[in-house]
Amino acid sequence: MNKATLVARIAQTAGISKNAADRALNGFLEAVSEALADGEKVTLVGFGTFSVSERQARTGRNPRTGEPIKIPAKKIAKFKPGARLSESVE
Protein backbone atom coordinates (compact mmCIF):
# COMPACT_ATOMS: atom_id res chain seq x y z
CA MET A 1 0.00 0.00 0.00
CA ASN A 2 1.37 3.41 -0.91
CA LYS A 3 0.37 6.86 0.36
CA ALA A 4 -2.24 7.48 -2.35
CA THR A 5 -3.95 4.17 -1.59
CA LEU A 6 -3.85 4.89 2.14
CA VAL A 7 -5.37 8.35 1.60
CA ALA A 8 -8.16 6.84 -0.51
CA ARG A 9 -8.85 4.22 2.18
CA ILE A 10 -8.94 6.85 4.94
CA ALA A 11 -11.30 9.02 2.88
CA GLN A 12 -13.64 6.09 2.23
CA THR A 13 -13.63 4.86 5.84
CA ALA A 14 -14.09 8.31 7.38
CA GLY A 15 -16.55 9.54 4.74
CA ILE A 16 -14.43 12.58 3.89
CA SER A 17 -12.83 13.89 0.72
CA LYS A 18 -9.45 12.61 -0.44
CA ASN A 19 -8.08 16.13 -0.03
CA ALA A 20 -9.16 16.23 3.62
CA ALA A 21 -7.79 12.72 4.21
CA ASP A 22 -4.46 13.75 2.65
CA ARG A 23 -4.25 16.82 4.91
CA ALA A 24 -5.09 14.67 7.96
CA LEU A 25 -2.45 12.08 7.09
CA ASN A 26 0.18 14.76 6.44
CA GLY A 27 -0.72 16.37 9.78
CA PHE A 28 -0.31 13.04 11.56
CA LEU A 29 3.05 12.37 9.93
CA GLU A 30 4.29 15.87 10.76
CA ALA A 31 3.13 15.60 14.39
CA VAL A 32 4.86 12.23 14.85
CA SER A 33 8.05 13.51 13.17
CA GLU A 34 8.16 16.61 15.39
CA ALA A 35 7.55 14.59 18.56
CA LEU A 36 10.35 12.15 17.68
CA ALA A 37 12.69 15.05 16.85
CA ASP A 38 11.98 16.39 20.36
CA GLY A 39 12.83 12.99 21.84
CA GLU A 40 9.24 12.14 22.78
CA LYS A 41 7.41 8.82 22.38
CA VAL A 42 4.16 8.61 20.45
CA THR A 43 1.88 5.86 21.75
CA LEU A 44 -1.29 4.77 19.98
CA VAL A 45 -2.90 2.21 22.30
CA GLY A 46 -3.47 -1.07 20.48
CA PHE A 47 -1.59 0.09 17.37
CA GLY A 48 1.94 0.69 18.61
CA THR A 49 4.61 3.07 19.86
CA PHE A 50 6.98 5.25 17.87
CA SER A 51 10.18 6.12 19.74
CA VAL A 52 13.76 7.27 19.26
CA SER A 53 16.72 5.05 20.06
CA GLU A 54 20.44 5.75 20.00
CA ARG A 55 22.79 3.49 18.11
CA GLN A 56 26.28 3.30 19.56
CA ALA A 57 29.32 4.07 17.45
CA ARG A 58 30.88 0.89 16.12
CA THR A 59 33.50 -0.47 13.78
CA GLY A 60 32.41 -2.02 10.49
CA ARG A 61 34.17 -3.34 7.41
CA ASN A 62 34.23 -1.90 3.92
CA PRO A 63 32.80 -4.78 1.84
CA ARG A 64 35.02 -4.00 -1.16
CA THR A 65 38.37 -3.65 0.57
CA GLY A 66 37.82 -5.35 3.92
CA GLU A 67 39.25 -2.26 5.65
CA PRO A 68 37.80 -1.40 9.05
CA ILE A 69 35.71 1.77 9.04
CA LYS A 70 34.22 3.77 11.89
CA ILE A 71 30.43 4.02 11.90
CA PRO A 72 29.36 7.02 13.99
CA ALA A 73 26.66 6.95 16.67
CA LYS A 74 23.26 8.14 15.54
CA LYS A 75 19.62 8.33 16.56
CA ILE A 76 17.06 6.15 14.80
CA ALA A 77 13.27 5.98 14.79
CA LYS A 78 11.75 2.75 16.08
CA PHE A 79 8.25 1.30 15.99
CA LYS A 80 6.98 -1.36 18.37
CA PRO A 81 3.62 -2.80 17.35
CA GLY A 82 0.82 -2.97 19.91
CA ALA A 83 -1.14 -6.07 20.88
CA ARG A 84 -4.12 -5.53 18.56
CA LEU A 85 -1.88 -4.84 15.57
CA SER A 86 0.20 -7.93 16.28
CA GLU A 87 -2.92 -10.07 16.63
CA SER A 88 -4.41 -8.78 13.37
CA VAL A 89 -1.28 -9.78 11.44
CA GLU A 90 -1.18 -13.36 12.72
DSSP 2-55: -HHHHHHHHHHHHT--HHHHHHHHHHHHHHHHHHHHTT--EEETTTEEEEEEEE
* Domain total in the chain: 2
The angle at the Cα of 21, spanning 19 to 26, to the nearest 5 degrees, equals 95
19 and 47 in a single domain? The answer is: no
Instruction: List all residues 6 or more positions away from 11 whose beta carbon is below 8 Å from its beta carbon.
Output: 17, 18, 20, 21
pLDDT at 35: 96
Domain of 47, CATH number, reads: 4.10.520.10
Q: Which domain holds residue 58?
A: 41-90
Tens of pLDDT, residues 30-82: 999 999 999 999 999 999 999 999 999 999 999 999 999 999 999 999 999 99
